[in-house]
Structure formats: structure tokens, C-alpha cells
Amino acid sequence: MNRRDFLKAASGVAGGAAAASTAASAAGQEETTTTSGTSGTSTGTGTGTGTGTGTGTGTSGGGGGGGTETVKVGPGGNYVYTPGTDSPLYITPGTTVEFVWESDNHNVNPTSVPEGASWEGHKPIENTGFSFSSTFETKGTYEYQCDPHAGLGMKGSIIVNDSGQAPSSGGGGGEVDPEHMGVPFQAHWVGIATILAILASLMFTFYIVKYGESAHSSSPGRK
């Protein structure tokens, strides 16, 4: 091989190596880019469902009305309505009250109802086991009695208001017992305070009589 052929062959080998190197480099770059694109791409799906149910029931006095209360008529043979005689039954508008007879010869005769109300109670005399129901819509005070036993105190009342509860005692109006304000107001404390006041007055009077005159004062006839 002469010098010229050697140079041609060497040039061809070098050119082929360079081309191979360039191709390999390009191929490597393409692979890297593809890998990067793949690793940089992410997909995700997420689903979420939630369900909730709630139910609630309320009786009268719980706010909202529509509940049911029971009044016992003559329980234990006593001449009372329970509740109703010892303290009023408080309910919200729309509450149904069931009157249940637990002794004989009673009725429920309204003696006073709020303006606009048409409650008629149950005037016929009934015996144990009888019952009737009334729904109260109009706010106010309903008073009633058992006619055969009204003289024995068999009277009751129902009060319909927004809360279904007795009003709080605060807010002014009427005489308030000092003990309800946290003051231990008792009769013996009044007696003790009175005695102390008398003793203080006696001591003050004695002091004035004995030491009341100053050195510069004079009484009539004194020089």
C-alpha cells in the first residue's frame, strides 16, 4: 500500500468513526430525552364519594313542636292532673297532648283559653282507661278543671310558648327573694343587726355625754 492509499483508508476509517460517534451520540441524546419525558409524565386518577343521612325527632318542649305529651287524669286515685296541677305543662305550638284517665268520674272542662283558641276539652264524665288527644296551635295559657272534683283542687293548666319551657326568673318584675340572689337573708340576722345598732347608739351617746365638752367650752354659771 502506497502513501496515498494509506491516507485514503485512514481518512475513511476516521470519517466512519466520527459518523458512528455522532450517530451514537444522537441516539443517546434521543434516549435520554425520551426517558426524561417518560419519567416527567405522571397520570393519576382519584375518586371520592361521601354519603350522609341524619334523622331527628323532637317532642314538645324540645323546640319545634309536633311532638306528643301525656297528662294523667286522676293518677293513683288522687284529684290531680299530672302534669298540670302542681305546675303547668309547657309545650310548643303544634304539640299533641293526650289525656289518659287513671281513675274514675273525671272530665277535662276548659275554664280559660287564649284569644282565638277553640279548645273544648272533654266535658263528659269518663272512667279509667278512657283517653282523648288535642293538638294545641295557639300560644297562651289553657286552664281546665274536673267538674266533679274542682272543689278538691283538681285543676290544671297548659302553657303554649315558643320554647316549650318555663320562662327564666331573671329579667326584673316582681319581688325577688334575696336568698335567690345568693344573700343568706334570715330572721336571726335581722335581730343581731338590730342589737348591734342599739349597742352602737348607746356607746356613742355615752361618749358624747362624758367627753363631749371641750376644754374651751363653758356651761352657764361657769367662770
Model pTM score: 0.49
Residue 169's pLDDT is 60
* Three-class SS of 43-101: CCCCCCCCCCCCCCCCCCCCCCCCCEEEEEECHHHCCCEECCCCCCEEECCCEEEEEEE
- Tracing cell 344573700 back to the chain, one arrives at 183
Q: What fold does the segment set 68-160 form as a domain?
A: Immunoglobulin-like (2.60.40)
Looking at residue 222, its pLDDT comes to 54
pLDDT at site 216: 56
- The domain locations on the chain are 68-160
Q: What's the angle, vertex CA 147, arms to CA 143 and CA 152, rounded to 5?
A: 90
* Cα 12 off chain centre by: 98
Task: Specify the pLDDT at position 187.
Answer: 61
